[in-house]
A and B are shown apart, each in its own frame.
Chain A
Amino acid sequence: MKIKSKIEALNKLFGININKNKKESEPFFKRFELSKFVLQKVINMSTDIKIRKGLTLRLKGAPTNTLKIAPPSTKFALKPTDFHGVFPKLLCKEGDEVQAGQPLFYSKYQDSIQFVSPVSGTVKEIRRGAKRKVLEIMISADKKQQSVTHKLPSLGKITPEQIKEQLLASGNWPFIRQRPYDIVANPNATPKAIFVSALATAPLSAQYDVVLEGQQDAFQLGMDMLSKLSPNLHLTIGAKESSQIAQTKNCTIHRIKGPHPAGNVGVQIHHIDPINTGETVWVVGAEDVANIGRFFQTGVFDASRTLAVAGHPLTSPCYYKSTIGASLEPLLDDVGAENLASLRVINGDVLTGTATSANGYVGYYNNTISVLPEGNRYRMFGWLPLAGPNIHSMSNTSLSWLFPKKQYTPDTNLNGEERALVVTGEMERVFPMDIYPMQLLKACMANDIEKMEQLGIYEVAPEDFALIDYANSSKIEAQAIIRDALDLMNKEVG
């Protein structure tokens, strides 16, 4: 009976009264289970998280910790394709003069969400693709640099509704994304928690202690504002993080230890406060929080972006202070990229980023620009075990296990061809969630909505499957499969 009384005391402590709604005949063990669950939650909140499965890829060409001011760019572009699932309705046409922070388009199915110009200048061209889909709104910056200023209510007494309104009106809203579906957050939803990950574990990716250096005040203000939108605001940092990020207030800080994808916010959510069917969690990028904070400091939309430009073909990879939508040309020039035609420039990290070109533009969300050589070459008998010692492999059919510290210089070769799913167990090795990845992928390929839901589709985002893309021997495009499945779920379930 001792245990029983303890559990009851615990239930009382957390305000759970089982006997109130339920009959006395409720089996004893069920109550015990409930308390166990509460206990686990408490433990999770206070302790740090250790991820065991995964893979930290060591690649050459990591950025040095120097932060340069990016060479000025006059060409900018806002890409509606950065916002997955948003159907853009244009608010500008070619030749229009726009100010920084002036809306360029809004979301057709959620018209309160506006997307604003990162600079002031002239709309030079609206580039469209197949079916007249808007690809890029190109703006040539002017010298005056005027920006739209919003009148802010007093921050001390600001209400959650006012914060939402301000974020929507100023074009800051797209910084907030949601799980499930990995899309721009629905402003009408009430999230059960907001997560900010200040831990980057993907290969060659920007480290947030460098990115947020000197932005701590703005970051703190952004966190303060987010904490008003949801009381459950979580900030995740590396196990050894010692910079000022670790001192952030008004949020629950979790220290995360382990290999990539420990830095993926989806993995963190899964271990801290997993998403159940019908629940919503918002996620905000760490520097995006600082951008939001600066907006609340000044009333002006802030499009600044700190970028790590990395990759082994570059002569001096480092960090740059740049702007969302800025042309990549001057950046790549400065960082020493040669032979640009044979290189792939990626907005984002090498596992999850979007390929662009040397005359592309900085993406909306990414803090990393990765550069890789293209791999369109043949390798004679390259399929033999142990062949190609310079290509990393998780599998022991190559010699990578002998050189755990070796830094690799990968290219974009597929290293094989797509085949049927044969090998089992290799996906699980890089997937640190209590989800069966291969079974989920198969359900997604079969468009089996019920099964996808049962197997945990709401908890995952394409980026969580990036290492599966990388490691699976059948060369299955797992990220693309999950993206399509999430779109299907969003359409069918909403």
Chain B
Amino acid sequence: MGATATVLLWASALLAPAFGVLVFTMNSMARVTFALLACLVCVGGIVTVLGLSYLGVVIVLMMVMEMVIMAVFMIAYMMNPAGLMPMSMLHNRRGALVISGSLFAALVAGIFLVPWPERGGARPRNTTFQIGAALMREQMLTMITLGFVLLATMVGATVLATRRGRYDRFGDELDQRPARDPAGGGVGR
């Protein structure tokens, strides 16, 4: 690892927990969400510097989109109107402290107790191919199963969450066109 990479690694490693602390000390939902995003971008930086550039950049890509969408929903579902009042991310303080403390202790203990393997062979030049082969060769069945489980979960959750069914949209005889939708953007109008 070169000097630049070491500096980047340490900078990301120090900034990530700093942003993590900000998540629990700031009092605005928007700021908290974007502190969490900054924290996760630092994690992406760490993964990139450690040689998994594809995973690192994808973490940044996915987390930016996910956190922005999450900001929308977190602010929408807040108890005070539109998230305009000061809030706190701390709930169930004693229980949370016990859980997070023991989890942290277990992870740190893991670092020292796990017998880390020695590197076998040279480091590949392009790790993206290795990731693809690992996921799509040996673990192909796992990935296909996971894909269907995720899709089924999404469809199921949407079906459970929506109150309106096809009879509301297309009428009792299912012959009403265009569909009666409360808002635009629906399919089949």
**Are A and B subunits of one complex?**
no
Residue ranges of A at the interface with B (Cβ–Cβ < 8 Å): none
